[in-house]
Structure 1
Amino acid sequence: MLTGLNHITIAVNDISRSFDFYVETLGFTPKARWASGAYLCLGDLWLCLSADEVSPRQDYTHYAFSIRSKDFDMFANHLKSFGVKEWKSNKSEGKSIYLLDPDGHKLEIHDGDLNSRLNACLKHPYKDMVFFNGMNGAEQK
């Protein structure tokens, strides 16, 4: 039986450049580094950077990281001071900044959680949206 997300591995062209971005710009904690990779942590998340030829995706796949609402504006300004490139404008509930890492991987910094998203969706559901497991007032399966 699965118990949760174990880790995320991201292919990167340049370990040093990506290591600096994730540690210095985003605030990950370094745990180990070697010629072709690094292990970093953010809360309970274990992130592996792995040297490889990167082929950024053109779809909506992205990795979202949590931030407290009270810290969002200051952190978004911090990111902008590093010249991060934004790939999308926020249209969802809560505050988000959508940015690219040095290899073009799509990232999001978001101040909400699953409950805040579902509560927003209860008020304004997506087309053909169905809710599960006791979401009040919504069609359930």
Structure 2
Amino acid sequence: MLSGLDHLVITVTDISRAVDFYSRVLGLDVRYRDRDRVDLVLGDLALRLHWTDTDVSPKAATPTPGSLDLCLRSLLPLDEVKRHLEALDVEIELGPVPRQGATGEIESLYLRDPDGNLLEISRPLKSSSD
């Protein structure tokens, strides 16, 4: 019945600050929709930023900044991602550490966006036969 995810809403307290973080730190493309909504493009998925006090309707029953826990796949090896984050003075909360992803074993590192949302950046672990 379903085929995938189109967009995911992230509630933020400051859209400009969130746009800066997600574009500068994570390299996402930005598409402005209106004053209250901005899309951060990730392949064929949009991470849609909504301002906390948006009039957009319908919306989640309790849109709360900092309540999201999101795992993103990295094209780059995590040691390169880690060096990039360190160069930007972005605190890494944990990792790289082994984890289980949707399709198998991954390694992940964890950080937080400006609103405290937990972001996991992951890469598939190579098997010993590779």
Q: When the two structures are superposed, what TM-score results if normalisation uses the length of structure 2?
A: 0.72
Structure with the bigger percentage of helix: 1
CA deviations on 1:49-90 (whole Å, 9 max, x unpaired) are: 111064434xxx61111113x532212211122222333442
Output one character per residue of 1:1-33: Cα deviation in whole Å (capped at 9) or x when no partner. Answer: 211112110000111100010011101011225
1:37 corresponds to which residue? Answer: 37
Q: Which runs of 5+ in 1 are unaligned?
A: 120-141
Residue 56, structure 1, aligned to residue 63, structure 2: no
Q: 1:71 and 2:77 equivalent?
A: yes
Among 90, 97, 106, which residue is 2:109 paired with?
97
Q: Judge conservation of contact 2:37–2:48 (CA < 8 Å) in 1.
A: yes
Runs of 4+ in 1 over 4 A off after TM superposition: none
Question: 1: CA distance between counterparts of 2:50 and 2:91?
Answer: 22
Larger Rg: 1
Cα deviation, residue 96, structure 1: 1.4
Partners of 2:7 and 2:47 within 8 A in 1: yes
Measured against aligned partners, the alpha-carbon deviations of 1:90-109 in whole angstroms (never above 9, x if no partner) come to 24244311000000000011
TM-score of the superposition, structure 1-length normalised? 0.67
The verdict on how the C-alpha distance between 1:81 and 1:102 changes in structure 2, with shifts beyond 3 A counting, is same
- Aligned residue identity for 1:25: V
CA distance in 1, matches of 2:16, 2:27: 15
Structure 1 partner of 2:60: none
What is the alpha-carbon distance in structure 2 between the residues aligned to residue 2 and residue 27 of structure 1?
Answer: 28
The answer to whether the Cα contact below 8 Å between 1:87 and 1:106 also exists between their aligned partners in 2 is: no
Aligned partners of 2:69 and 2:29: how far apart in 1? 21
Instruction: Indicate the structure with greater strand content.
Output: 2
- Of structures 1 and 2, the one with the larger relative CO (CA 8 A, separation 6+) is 2
